[in-house]
Structure 1
Amino acid sequence: MKIHHEGTAFLVAAGLFLSFLCLYVYLVVEQRWPFWLAVVVSVVLLGIAFNFYRSPRRIYGKPTDGLVLASADGHIVAIEEVDEPEVLGGKCLMISTFMSLFNVHAQWVPVAGEVTYVRHHRGNVYAAYVPKSSTENERSTVEIVTSEGHHIVVRQIAGAMARRIETYLKEGERCEIDDQLGFIKLGSRVDIFLPLGSKPLVDLDEPVTGNVTVLAELPPRKSCK
């Protein structure tokens, strides 16, 4: 299992701390059950951390013309028409994926194209499944323009437990399917804004897998912005 580079330092520090904690309990406490309890708890905590920071290598390997792939692992919490004032300045279709603590927290590029906008905003710490988290929480917004002229916006949103958002894309560069878009630490959410006329291919509460599940089909021509 490959570990994401965002988690390397944390996992090393956590492993050392828990090892010293277990050693301390072993040397100080005469009874052995507290030591074994500390070992079990440490193994469970490290297992959760390794699961969180795992970084699976995913290659879509199929034609993606006119398709939008899931950017994150999780389940669908919203499919609705909304206003997106920051970038698109109008109504679009939003598809939102909520990531729990047990999901992979890397994000992938949902469409190939040119990166035309990248902004990070500080904000509140509402639970990521709450609708207002999309506009009020700490977040990072990326716009990608496809070769067909569709403007796609991806928004990484920090949840109540998240403390850091990393976005790897830069304005002016080209991104491709299979590229990683970024990483959010702890519970979080990803909103994808699509042109009106896009056809959702997922349902509410459906589990999705980043760079694997097809979220939607884009309209034949751009209809937003």
Structure 2
Amino acid sequence: MEEFVWPDPPEQTAFPVAKAGYPFIFSAAFATAVFALLGLVVPALLGLFATLCICCFFRDPDRVVPNVEGGVVSPADGKVIFVGPVAENPFMEGPALKISVFMTVFNVHVNRVPVEGRIADVVYHPGKFFSANLDKASDDNERNAVILETSRGERICFVQIAGLIARRIICHVKQGDTVRKGQRFGLICFGSRLDVYLPAGAVPRVQAGDKVQAGTSLLGSLI
């Protein structure tokens, strides 16, 4: 058995950028060009800096996924801010193991599928824009929940949660889609959080404070 697998074909560029970032990048580059043509040196330099920052934010590096049976990979880059059992959640019946990953503006914001399976439902909730590292962000912020069923009938849920700066959640999967572990499924613009709800019997492989990468870091194992 291979130790790692490619969930998506590798990009043919040295610095892959998510397509959702193109409008932001082109707008900033256009403004920079206008400032430069007008001879406005300081605004042009600030525009160039902003363009480079936006390119960095929307970077979309290729990832290989550990081929571990029952392994659940992180759907996001960032810092684990919560690991523990919850008695209930809005998306699945009964208790669950909840793992939350907080992303700053410096993290890669492309989100990846934690386990292979079929998308059972996608549920969008409008909401507020509190800082995504606060506990109340899970319940009050704008969020998009993806519920997935594995081939063994287990259900997990991963929730994209908008943050203080984020104002756009992008999700490319829909009900009925079959997805691979580590496959790209969306992103959140400018700082956010991912909550993952696993079956109560799942075993965590991380603890609060750990740094994780989408698609490559194991969050837990399904028994």
TM-score relative to the length of structure 1: 0.88
- State how far apart, in whole Å, the 2-side matches of 1:82 and 1:196 are: 8
Which amino acid in 1 is paired with 2:17?
A: I
Equivalent residue, structure 2, for 1:162: 166
Q: CA RMSD in A?
A: 1.4
Which amino acid in 1 is paired with 2:177?
A: E
Of all paired residues, the percent bearing the same amino acid is: 33
SS of 1:90's partner is coil
SS of 2:130's partner is coil
- State how far apart, in whole Å, the 2-side matches of 1:85 and 1:207 are: 25
Q: Which residue of the other structure, out of 79, 104, 112, is the alignment partner of 2:108?
A: 104
Which amino acid in 1 is paired with 2:33?
A: S
Equivalent residue, structure 2, for 1:13: 27
Equivalent residue, structure 2, for 1:182: 186
Which segments of 5 or more consecutive residues in structure 2 lack a partner in the other structure? 1-14
- State how far apart, in whole Å, the 2-side matches of 1:84 and 1:112 are: 24
Which segments of 5 or more consecutive residues in structure 1 lack a partner in the other structure? 28-34, 220-225
SS of 2:193's partner is strand
Equivalent residue, structure 2, for 1:206: 210
Q: Is the 8 A contact 2:28 2:50 kept in 1?
A: no
Equivalent residue, structure 1, for 2:60: 55
Structure with larger Rg: 1
Aligned residues: 209
Equivalent residue, structure 1, for 2:9: none
TM-score relative to the length of structure 2: 0.89
State the Cα distance separating 1:58 from its structure 2 match: 1.5
SS of 2:68's partner is coil
- State how far apart, in whole Å, the 1-side matches of 2:69 and 2:116 are: 9
Q: Which residue of the other structure, out of 41, 45, 49, is the alignment partner of 2:50?
A: 45
- State how far apart, in whole Å, the 2-side matches of 1:90 and 1:125 are: 28
State the Cα distance separating 1:197 from its structure 2 match: 2.0
State the Cα distance separating 1:110 from its structure 2 match: 0.2
Which amino acid in 2 is paired with 1:42?
A: G
* 1:122 correspondence with 2:126: yes
Q: Is the 8 A contact 1:177 1:211 kept in 2?
A: yes
- State how far apart, in whole Å, the 1-side matches of 2:183 and 2:44 are: 38
